[in-house]
Amino acid sequence: MPIRIDSKLDSGKPGVSTVIRVYGRDFDVDTFVATCTLPVCTVKRRGEPVLAASQPDGRRHEQSGVHVLASDADFTLFPAQVGDAIAFLRSHGVELRRLRTFAGVETATLDFGIERRDVAVQSDRLPAELLRLAAALDLDIELSQYP
């Protein structure tokens, strides 16, 4: 399966989406991706440069991992990301469970890239349904705020 690389997802800039990040020191990402039906958007291999283009001799990945796109809703649309993520977890539960239990996988995180708003208190609610689905798949949940 071809791997779709979305520069928006790896840029760390506004516009990032919701991804499931899965990592492990001994995770054989190439073996997993060869039979994966999930929308993999990034593959990282232990030992490869973190910034291959700009710093090929720089820091190296300590773990291998994949990022799976769960929503491509803009970072300003958190409710849409949540709705997309719920639908994604429901429809891809079997393959996500296979990923989560694949040999070498140590961590799995559902990461929402969201807008940091200019407010006194920023509250972003995660519905119980999302929490139940993520827990059933042994996924942590993270909110990454971007200015």
What is the residue whose two structure tokens read 């990034």? 42
* Amino acid present at 95: E
pLDDT tens, position by position, 98-126: 999 999 999 999 999 999 999 999 999 99
% of the chain with per-residue pLDDT over 90:
74
Residue 20 backbone phi and psi in degrees, to 5:
-105, 120
Distance CA 43, CA 2 (A): 11
Q: Angle at which helices 78-91 and 93-100 pack, to 10 degrees?
A: 80
- Radius of gyration (C-alpha) of the chain in whole angstroms: 15
DSSP state of 104: T
Is the model's pTM score more than 0.75? yes
DSSP 3-state assignment of 52? coil
**pLDDT score of 51:** 85
